[in-house]
Amino acid sequence: MANIAAFEQAIGRLYQPLRSALMRLPGPVKAGATEVRLRLGGPVSLTLRGRPAFVTESGRVVYTPTEGCLIAGDQALYESFRALCEYSVHSHQRAIAQGFIPLPGGHRAGVAGAAVVEQGVVSNVRDIAGINLRIARALPGCGGEVAGAFAAIKGSIMLAGPPGSGKTTLLRETVRLLSSGQVGEHHLITVVDERCEIGGSLSGRPQFDLGCCTDLLSGYPKAAGVLTALRVLSPQVIALDEIGDAAECAALSEGLNSGVRFIVTVHAGSREELSRRPVGRALLGTGAFERIFLLSGPENPGRIKEVITPHEAAYQDPRADLALLQLRSVRRGPIGHTVQSRRQS
Protein backbone atom coordinates (compact mmCIF):
# COMPACT_ATOMS: atom_id res chain seq x y z
CA MET A 1 0.00 0.00 0.00
CA ALA A 2 2.83 2.39 0.89
CA ASN A 3 4.43 1.87 -2.50
CA ILE A 4 1.14 2.52 -4.30
CA ALA A 5 0.76 5.74 -2.32
CA ALA A 6 4.34 6.72 -3.19
CA PHE A 7 3.63 6.15 -6.90
CA GLU A 8 0.44 8.22 -6.79
CA GLN A 9 2.17 11.01 -4.92
CA ALA A 10 5.07 11.05 -7.40
CA ILE A 11 2.81 11.39 -10.46
CA GLY A 12 0.56 13.92 -8.72
CA ARG A 13 1.95 16.91 -10.61
CA LEU A 14 2.03 15.42 -14.09
CA TYR A 15 -0.12 16.80 -16.92
CA GLN A 16 -3.67 15.77 -16.15
CA PRO A 17 -4.35 13.35 -19.09
CA LEU A 18 -1.08 11.51 -18.36
CA ARG A 19 -1.83 11.40 -14.68
CA SER A 20 -5.32 9.98 -15.28
CA ALA A 21 -3.97 7.13 -17.42
CA LEU A 22 -1.24 6.35 -14.88
CA MET A 23 -3.76 6.39 -12.04
CA ARG A 24 -5.72 3.67 -13.86
CA LEU A 25 -2.76 1.26 -13.68
CA PRO A 26 -3.31 -1.85 -11.56
CA GLY A 27 -2.10 -1.74 -7.96
CA PRO A 28 0.77 -4.23 -8.37
CA VAL A 29 2.16 -2.22 -11.29
CA LYS A 30 2.00 0.98 -9.26
CA ALA A 31 3.68 -0.75 -6.35
CA GLY A 32 6.45 -2.22 -8.50
CA ALA A 33 7.27 0.79 -10.69
CA THR A 34 10.47 2.59 -9.75
CA GLU A 35 10.45 5.17 -12.53
CA VAL A 36 8.07 6.94 -14.92
CA ARG A 37 9.71 8.24 -18.07
CA LEU A 38 8.36 10.87 -20.45
CA ARG A 39 10.23 11.43 -23.70
CA LEU A 40 9.13 14.09 -26.16
CA GLY A 41 6.98 12.43 -28.82
CA GLY A 42 7.67 9.00 -27.35
CA PRO A 43 5.59 6.48 -25.44
CA VAL A 44 5.28 6.96 -21.68
CA SER A 45 7.21 4.17 -19.97
CA LEU A 46 7.69 2.71 -16.53
CA THR A 47 10.62 0.84 -15.08
CA LEU A 48 9.36 -2.44 -13.66
CA ARG A 49 11.91 -4.78 -12.10
CA GLY A 50 14.63 -3.03 -14.08
CA ARG A 51 12.81 -3.45 -17.43
CA PRO A 52 11.03 -0.78 -19.47
CA ALA A 53 7.27 -1.22 -19.79
CA PHE A 54 4.86 1.02 -21.71
CA VAL A 55 1.53 2.41 -20.61
CA THR A 56 -1.55 2.41 -22.83
CA GLU A 57 -4.17 5.14 -22.82
CA SER A 58 -6.54 2.72 -21.10
CA GLY A 59 -4.08 2.19 -18.25
CA ARG A 60 -2.62 -1.19 -19.21
CA VAL A 61 1.03 -2.18 -19.38
CA VAL A 62 2.67 -3.63 -22.51
CA TYR A 63 6.29 -4.56 -23.00
CA THR A 64 6.51 -3.45 -26.65
CA PRO A 65 5.29 -0.02 -27.74
CA THR A 66 2.12 -0.48 -29.77
CA GLU A 67 -0.72 1.62 -31.08
CA GLY A 68 -2.76 2.99 -28.22
CA CYS A 69 0.28 3.70 -26.07
CA LEU A 70 0.24 6.91 -24.10
CA ILE A 71 2.42 9.49 -25.88
CA ALA A 72 4.18 12.40 -24.19
CA GLY A 73 3.51 15.26 -26.60
CA ASP A 74 4.81 18.84 -26.50
CA GLN A 75 2.06 20.13 -24.26
CA ALA A 76 2.19 17.15 -21.91
CA LEU A 77 5.91 17.55 -21.41
CA TYR A 78 5.83 21.35 -21.10
CA GLU A 79 2.91 21.40 -18.68
CA SER A 80 4.37 18.54 -16.64
CA PHE A 81 7.70 20.34 -16.41
CA ARG A 82 6.08 23.59 -15.27
CA ALA A 83 3.87 21.80 -12.75
CA LEU A 84 6.80 19.77 -11.38
CA CYS A 85 8.52 23.12 -10.79
CA GLU A 86 5.35 24.41 -9.05
CA TYR A 87 5.12 26.92 -11.94
CA SER A 88 8.27 28.47 -10.55
CA VAL A 89 11.17 27.47 -12.77
CA HIS A 90 13.27 30.26 -11.28
CA SER A 91 13.07 28.65 -7.82
CA HIS A 92 14.51 25.37 -9.13
CA GLN A 93 17.10 26.85 -11.45
CA ARG A 94 20.13 25.51 -9.60
CA ALA A 95 18.67 22.03 -9.27
CA ILE A 96 17.58 22.02 -12.92
CA ALA A 97 21.13 22.96 -13.93
CA GLN A 98 22.22 19.85 -12.06
CA GLY A 99 19.60 17.87 -13.97
CA PHE A 100 16.76 17.30 -11.52
CA ILE A 101 13.76 18.78 -9.72
CA PRO A 102 13.17 17.70 -6.09
CA LEU A 103 9.56 16.77 -5.31
CA PRO A 104 7.50 16.33 -2.16
CA GLY A 105 7.87 12.87 -0.64
CA GLY A 106 11.52 12.64 -1.64
CA HIS A 107 10.71 11.80 -5.26
CA ARG A 108 12.84 13.34 -7.95
CA ALA A 109 12.35 14.32 -11.58
CA GLY A 110 15.44 13.99 -13.74
CA VAL A 111 15.41 16.48 -16.61
CA ALA A 112 16.84 15.89 -20.09
CA GLY A 113 17.29 18.79 -22.49
CA ALA A 114 19.84 21.12 -24.02
CA ALA A 115 22.43 22.52 -21.65
CA VAL A 116 23.08 26.24 -21.37
CA VAL A 117 26.78 26.48 -20.60
CA GLU A 118 28.35 29.61 -19.17
CA GLN A 119 32.09 29.72 -18.51
CA GLY A 120 32.29 25.97 -18.75
CA VAL A 121 29.53 25.35 -16.21
CA VAL A 122 25.98 24.20 -16.96
CA SER A 123 23.87 27.13 -15.80
CA ASN A 124 20.50 25.98 -17.08
CA VAL A 125 18.69 23.39 -19.17
CA ARG A 126 16.41 24.47 -22.02
CA ASP A 127 14.31 22.66 -24.63
CA ILE A 128 13.19 20.01 -22.18
CA ALA A 129 12.94 16.74 -24.09
CA GLY A 130 12.54 14.19 -21.34
CA ILE A 131 11.55 13.73 -17.71
CA ASN A 132 12.47 10.75 -15.59
CA LEU A 133 10.34 10.59 -12.48
CA ARG A 134 12.16 8.50 -9.88
CA ILE A 135 9.84 7.21 -7.23
CA ALA A 136 11.34 7.26 -3.76
CA ARG A 137 10.26 4.40 -1.59
CA ALA A 138 11.27 3.16 1.78
CA LEU A 139 12.51 -0.40 2.16
CA PRO A 140 12.07 -0.70 5.92
CA GLY A 141 14.75 -2.73 7.60
CA CYS A 142 16.91 -2.99 4.50
CA GLY A 143 19.74 -1.17 6.27
CA GLY A 144 19.93 -3.59 9.20
CA GLU A 145 22.88 -5.59 7.89
CA VAL A 146 24.90 -2.54 6.88
CA ALA A 147 24.13 -0.71 10.11
CA GLY A 148 25.04 -3.81 12.11
CA ALA A 149 28.36 -4.13 10.30
CA PHE A 150 29.08 -0.43 10.76
CA ALA A 151 28.41 -0.65 14.49
CA ALA A 152 30.71 -3.66 14.77
CA ILE A 153 33.77 -2.20 13.04
CA LYS A 154 35.90 0.88 13.57
CA GLY A 155 36.28 1.97 9.96
CA SER A 156 34.09 3.21 7.15
CA ILE A 157 31.68 1.54 4.79
CA MET A 158 31.07 1.77 1.06
CA LEU A 159 27.87 0.82 -0.77
CA ALA A 160 28.48 0.05 -4.45
CA GLY A 161 25.92 -0.78 -7.09
CA PRO A 162 24.69 0.05 -10.58
CA PRO A 163 22.15 2.85 -11.17
CA GLY A 164 18.74 1.99 -9.72
CA SER A 165 20.08 -0.66 -7.36
CA GLY A 166 18.84 1.16 -4.26
CA LYS A 167 22.11 2.61 -2.97
CA THR A 168 20.51 5.83 -1.77
CA THR A 169 17.61 4.00 -0.14
CA LEU A 170 20.03 1.68 1.66
CA LEU A 171 22.19 4.61 2.74
CA ARG A 172 19.16 6.50 4.06
CA GLU A 173 17.89 3.51 6.02
CA THR A 174 21.35 2.78 7.44
CA VAL A 175 21.67 6.39 8.59
CA ARG A 176 18.26 6.25 10.22
CA LEU A 177 19.03 3.04 12.12
CA LEU A 178 22.42 4.26 13.34
CA SER A 179 21.22 7.74 14.24
CA SER A 180 18.14 6.58 16.09
CA GLY A 181 20.14 4.09 18.15
CA GLN A 182 18.32 1.05 16.80
CA VAL A 183 21.67 -0.59 16.11
CA GLY A 184 24.12 0.00 18.96
CA GLU A 185 24.31 3.45 20.48
CA HIS A 186 23.15 6.68 18.85
CA HIS A 187 25.59 7.92 16.23
CA LEU A 188 25.98 11.63 15.52
CA ILE A 189 25.63 11.75 11.76
CA THR A 190 25.87 14.53 9.21
CA VAL A 191 24.34 13.80 5.83
CA VAL A 192 25.74 15.88 2.97
CA ASP A 193 22.85 15.75 0.53
CA GLU A 194 24.01 17.58 -2.58
CA ARG A 195 21.03 16.61 -4.72
CA CYS A 196 18.43 16.50 -1.94
CA GLU A 197 17.94 12.81 -2.54
CA ILE A 198 18.87 11.30 0.82
CA GLY A 199 16.75 13.58 2.99
CA GLY A 200 14.52 14.69 0.13
CA SER A 201 14.61 18.21 1.54
CA LEU A 202 11.95 20.49 0.11
CA SER A 203 11.72 24.12 1.24
CA GLY A 204 14.05 23.23 4.09
CA ARG A 205 11.96 20.31 5.36
CA PRO A 206 13.38 16.76 5.10
CA GLN A 207 10.86 14.40 3.52
CA PHE A 208 12.45 11.29 5.06
CA ASP A 209 13.15 10.28 8.63
CA LEU A 210 16.92 10.25 9.07
CA GLY A 211 16.92 9.62 12.82
CA CYS A 212 17.05 11.92 15.79
CA CYS A 213 20.82 12.50 15.77
CA THR A 214 21.24 13.46 12.11
CA ASP A 215 22.12 16.88 10.75
CA LEU A 216 21.21 17.41 7.11
CA LEU A 217 23.24 19.66 4.83
CA SER A 218 21.01 20.03 1.77
CA GLY A 219 22.28 21.29 -1.54
CA TYR A 220 25.90 21.56 -0.40
CA PRO A 221 28.44 20.36 -2.93
CA LYS A 222 29.88 17.23 -1.28
CA ALA A 223 33.41 18.57 -0.82
CA ALA A 224 32.20 21.85 0.71
CA GLY A 225 29.64 19.99 2.82
CA VAL A 226 32.24 17.69 4.34
CA LEU A 227 34.42 20.66 5.31
CA THR A 228 31.42 22.54 6.74
CA ALA A 229 30.38 19.48 8.74
CA LEU A 230 33.87 19.11 10.16
CA ARG A 231 34.06 22.79 11.08
CA VAL A 232 30.68 23.34 12.67
CA LEU A 233 28.75 20.11 13.31
CA SER A 234 31.33 17.79 14.92
CA PRO A 235 29.89 14.57 13.49
CA GLN A 236 31.07 11.07 14.31
CA VAL A 237 29.88 9.86 10.93
CA ILE A 238 29.43 11.61 7.57
CA ALA A 239 27.16 10.08 4.93
CA LEU A 240 27.71 10.91 1.25
CA ASP A 241 25.86 9.73 -1.83
CA GLU A 242 27.52 9.00 -5.17
CA ILE A 243 31.13 9.99 -4.71
CA GLY A 244 32.23 10.92 -8.19
CA ASP A 245 35.37 13.00 -8.45
CA ALA A 246 38.78 13.77 -7.05
CA ALA A 247 37.67 16.85 -5.10
CA GLU A 248 35.12 14.78 -3.22
CA CYS A 249 37.71 12.08 -2.48
CA ALA A 250 40.10 14.77 -1.22
CA ALA A 251 37.43 16.18 1.12
CA LEU A 252 36.70 12.67 2.32
CA SER A 253 40.41 12.14 3.09
CA GLU A 254 40.35 15.37 5.07
CA GLY A 255 37.47 13.99 7.11
CA LEU A 256 39.17 10.64 7.65
CA ASN A 257 42.21 12.45 9.00
CA SER A 258 39.95 14.26 11.43
CA GLY A 259 38.75 11.04 12.99
CA VAL A 260 35.38 10.90 11.26
CA ARG A 261 33.96 7.71 9.76
CA PHE A 262 32.14 7.63 6.46
CA ILE A 263 29.29 5.81 4.82
CA VAL A 264 29.46 6.47 1.08
CA THR A 265 27.86 5.17 -2.08
CA VAL A 266 29.60 4.69 -5.43
CA HIS A 267 28.38 3.73 -8.88
CA ALA A 268 29.86 0.34 -9.73
CA GLY A 269 28.09 -2.78 -10.91
CA SER A 270 30.81 -5.23 -9.91
CA ARG A 271 34.09 -5.43 -8.05
CA GLU A 272 35.88 -5.17 -11.41
CA GLU A 273 34.07 -1.94 -12.25
CA LEU A 274 34.84 -0.58 -8.81
CA SER A 275 38.52 -1.33 -9.18
CA ARG A 276 38.66 0.14 -12.69
CA ARG A 277 37.02 3.43 -11.76
CA PRO A 278 39.52 6.09 -10.62
CA VAL A 279 37.16 7.12 -7.83
CA GLY A 280 36.89 3.51 -6.64
CA ARG A 281 40.65 3.18 -6.57
CA ALA A 282 41.05 6.51 -4.80
CA LEU A 283 38.54 5.54 -2.12
CA LEU A 284 40.14 2.15 -1.57
CA GLY A 285 43.50 3.88 -1.51
CA THR A 286 42.47 5.77 1.62
CA GLY A 287 42.56 2.48 3.51
CA ALA A 288 39.52 3.52 5.49
CA PHE A 289 36.86 1.24 4.07
CA GLU A 290 36.56 -1.95 6.07
CA ARG A 291 33.46 -3.24 4.31
CA ILE A 292 32.14 -2.84 0.78
CA PHE A 293 28.55 -3.87 0.18
CA LEU A 294 27.89 -4.68 -3.46
CA LEU A 295 24.22 -4.36 -4.41
CA SER A 296 22.55 -6.74 -6.77
CA GLY A 297 20.88 -4.39 -9.26
CA PRO A 298 17.70 -2.63 -10.35
CA GLU A 299 15.74 -5.89 -10.43
CA ASN A 300 16.18 -6.20 -6.64
CA PRO A 301 16.57 -2.69 -5.23
CA GLY A 302 18.33 -2.53 -1.88
CA ARG A 303 19.41 -6.18 -1.90
CA ILE A 304 23.02 -6.92 -1.03
CA LYS A 305 24.75 -9.30 -3.43
CA GLU A 306 28.17 -9.47 -1.88
CA VAL A 307 30.07 -8.18 1.11
CA ILE A 308 33.72 -7.46 0.47
CA THR A 309 36.39 -7.01 3.10
CA PRO A 310 39.39 -5.33 1.50
CA HIS A 311 42.62 -7.17 2.11
CA GLU A 312 45.29 -5.19 3.89
CA ALA A 313 47.62 -5.72 0.95
CA ALA A 314 45.12 -3.99 -1.29
CA TYR A 315 45.79 -0.73 0.46
CA GLN A 316 49.50 -0.84 -0.20
CA ASP A 317 49.17 -0.27 -3.93
CA PRO A 318 46.00 1.56 -4.85
CA ARG A 319 46.89 1.41 -8.56
CA ALA A 320 47.02 -2.34 -8.69
CA ASP A 321 43.66 -2.74 -10.39
CA LEU A 322 42.06 -6.09 -9.70
CA ALA A 323 44.69 -6.98 -7.15
CA LEU A 324 42.95 -4.40 -5.02
CA LEU A 325 39.89 -6.46 -4.86
CA GLN A 326 41.31 -9.91 -4.44
CA LEU A 327 39.42 -9.82 -1.27
CA ARG A 328 37.75 -12.05 1.19
CA SER A 329 34.08 -12.01 0.39
CA VAL A 330 30.82 -13.37 1.62
CA ARG A 331 28.78 -14.15 -1.47
CA ARG A 332 25.10 -14.68 -1.37
CA GLY A 333 23.23 -17.59 -2.79
CA PRO A 334 19.83 -17.13 -4.36
CA ILE A 335 17.55 -17.80 -1.39
CA GLY A 336 19.13 -16.72 1.81
CA HIS A 337 22.18 -19.01 1.61
CA THR A 338 25.54 -17.42 2.15
CA VAL A 339 28.72 -18.82 0.70
CA GLN A 340 32.02 -17.91 2.30
CA SER A 341 34.86 -17.79 -0.16
CA ARG A 342 38.46 -16.85 0.37
CA ARG A 343 40.33 -15.54 -2.60
CA GLN A 344 44.08 -15.64 -3.02
CA SER A 345 45.78 -12.40 -3.90
Partner 1 sequence: MLGALGEELSYNQTPLRTAAERLSRRSAGAARDFLHAACTYMEAGLPPPESWARAAEELRAFEKTDRQELASLAYFLGGSDIEGQRATIGRCLRALEERRHYAVEKRDRLSKVYRTLGVLAGMAAVVAAL
> Which residues of this protein are in contact with partner 1, per CB under 8 A?
82-83, 85-91, 93, 124
Quick one: 85 or 327, whose CB is closer to partner 1? 85
Q: Is 280 exposed, middle or buried (0-12, 13-18, 19+ CB in 10 A)?
A: buried
Minimum CB distance to partner 1, residue 256 (Å) = 35
Cα distance between residue 144 and residue 136, in whole Å: 19
Minimum CB distance to partner 1, residue 90 (Å) = 5
How many angstroms from the chain centroid is the CA of residue 314?
Answer: 27
Quick one: 56 or 98, whose CB is closer to partner 1? 98
Minimum CB distance to partner 1, residue 85 (Å) = 7
Quick one: 37 or 92, whose CB is closer to partner 1? 92
Quick one: 80 or 286, whose CB is closer to partner 1? 80
Quick one: 88 or 338, whose CB is closer to partner 1? 88
Quick one: 23 or 83, whose CB is closer to partner 1? 83
Cα distance between residue 178 and residue 79, in whole Å: 41
Cα distance between residue 186 and residue 182, in whole Å: 8
Give the C-alpha distances (Å, rounded to integers) separating 211 from 181, 215, 241, 335: 8, 9, 17, 31
Residue type, 228: T
3-class SS at 294?
strand
Minimum CB distance to partner 1, residue 89 (Å) = 6
Minimum CB distance to partner 1, residue 79 (Å) = 9
Which bin fits 290, alpha (ψ -120 to 50), beta or left (φ > 0)? alpha
Please report the beta strands in the chain, taking only residues with DSSP state E, as ranges in sequence order.
Answer: 33-39, 45-48, 51-55, 61-62, 100-102, 108-118, 121-134, 156-161, 189-193, 214-218, 237-240, 261-267, 289-295, 304-309, 328-332, 338-341
Quick one: 118 or 299, whose CB is closer to partner 1? 118
Minimum CB distance to partner 1, residue 91 (Å) = 5
Minimum CB distance to partner 1, residue 200 (Å) = 17
